[in-house]
Amino acid sequence: MKDVLLLADLHGEFGKIESFLELSPDAIFIAGDITNMGPADAVGALFDRIDVPAFAVPGNCDPRDTLDTLERSDCVCLHGSSISMGPVCLVGIGGSNPTPFSTPFEMTDKQIDEILSSLVGRMDRRTHNILISHAPPLGILDLAGGNHVGSASVRKHMASFDLVCCAHIHEQRGIAEEAGTKVVNPGMAALGQCAMIHLGEVRKEIGIELVQV
């Protein structure tokens, strides 16, 4: 796994999947909001069209039964779990901290912290340790209406990772870095936005390109 396609915020718009696959990724990460408040069954149809290994977490706009649909699909559901493959360790946290909109998959920051504390405590560290989180870290790529709305718990644990892949805030597409940890929001896949992540041979050798298809 060297060249990874990062998608997020599809919101049920899957028309550009073939264009994304033309980027020839070795694997795909999806950082949530696969649907637009459902239906959860749409998730299975999406992964039927993807012919490379896929790893995903749900977003706050995905119904909670999306977790069951992800588990039954050809994708690896990473919410609340981790997986190590060769030089890569992936950890996932879906949903988001509370929003003003009472969306289907929200958690308190305490709940997010409990999940991440458990995962970080037992993760099998590799050359590249990657967190896939729908919610961004507080203060990084998280401005909405002039306010920082990211997760304090994601921010608390980000130092345990080399890369945080996040989404949620559509207007905050970009790449940032803090204390050696890179953070990327690939933008809205519904609009053809994505990112390509290039994993090198040594720790911290991670290249990121924002791409429009």
Structural contact between residues 172 and 142, judged by C-beta atoms closer than 8 angstroms: yes
Which pLDDT score, from 0 to 100, does residue 26 have?
A: 97
For the chain, domains (ranges, CATH) are 3-212 (3.60.21.10)
Q: Are 112 and 70 within 8 A, CB to CB? A: no
pLDDT at position 44 is 86
Q: What type of residue is 79?
A: H
Q: Which amino acid is at 90?
A: L
Three-state helix/strand/coil letters over 28-86: EEEECCCCCCCCCCHHHHHHHCCCCCEEEECCCCCCCCHHHHHHHCCCEECECCEEEEC
- Long-range own/partner contacts, residues 110-115 (CB < 8 A, 24 or more apart): 110/153, 112/151, 112/153, 112/154, 113/153, 113/156, 113/157, 115/80
Separation between Cα atoms, residue 98 and residue 142, nearest integer Å: 13
Matching residue, tokens 């969306």: 103
- pLDDT tens, position by position, for the chain (213 residues)? 899 999 999 999 999 999 999 999 999 999 999 999 999 988 888 998 999 999 999 999 999 999 999 999 989 999 999 999 999 999 999 999 999 999 999 999 999 999 999 999 999 999 999 999 999 999 999 999 999 999 999 999 999 999 999 999 999 999 999 999 999 999 999 999 999 999 999 999 999 999 999
Task: Specify the pTM.
Answer: 0.97
Are residues 155 and 178 in contact, defined by beta-carbon separation less than 8 angstroms? no
